[in-house]
Structure 1
Amino acid sequence: MKLVVAILLLVSLILSSSLLQSCAAYTAPAPSSVDCGQKCATRCAKAGVKDRCLNYCGICCQKCQCVPSGTYGNKSECPCYQDMLNNKGKPKCP
């Protein structure tokens, strides 16, 4: 019985130390260097449903750290923004 307890204690120590190492290796993401609010306001200036455009543009900008120039098109300037799809397989970003 003492052997089983000792083995369980040893295994738990090993697992907890590996968990601690993985937590210590985590680094927080860098703060956004792109002004998503201003870029999305420009991008959505001519949108029919402006609040929805601003919402999705903001989500895409935070993830991709870029917004294509202009009010429409130019998505090749930001491949991440261009490639994001919604759950229906359509482009997510305006």
Structure 2
Amino acid sequence: MELEAAKMIGAGLATLGMIGAGVGVGNVWASYFQAIARNPAAKDEIGASVWIGFAVTEAVALFALLVALMVLFG
């Protein structure tokens, strides 16, 4: 197998981590909206936790993208 083909396959496989991050972000926001629907008064209390969870989950996607770019251009 040629080196360029191996780089492309490796970069493609490295981006599969972004699928899990997308599912995680969806779960974070779905849980947030469900919690707000059940108890609207708790919106201010859980708002910061939602943003922290979103940021950590999105960081996983950025790390997967970074690894893919390192494989592709490294």
Q: TM-score range by the shorter chain?
A: 0.3 to 0.5
User: What TM-score do you get using the length of structure 2 for normalisation?
Assistant: 0.34
Looking at secondary structure, tell me which structure has more helix per residue.
2
Q: Which has the larger radius of gyration?
A: 1
User: What TM-score do you get using the length of structure 1 for normalisation?
Assistant: 0.28
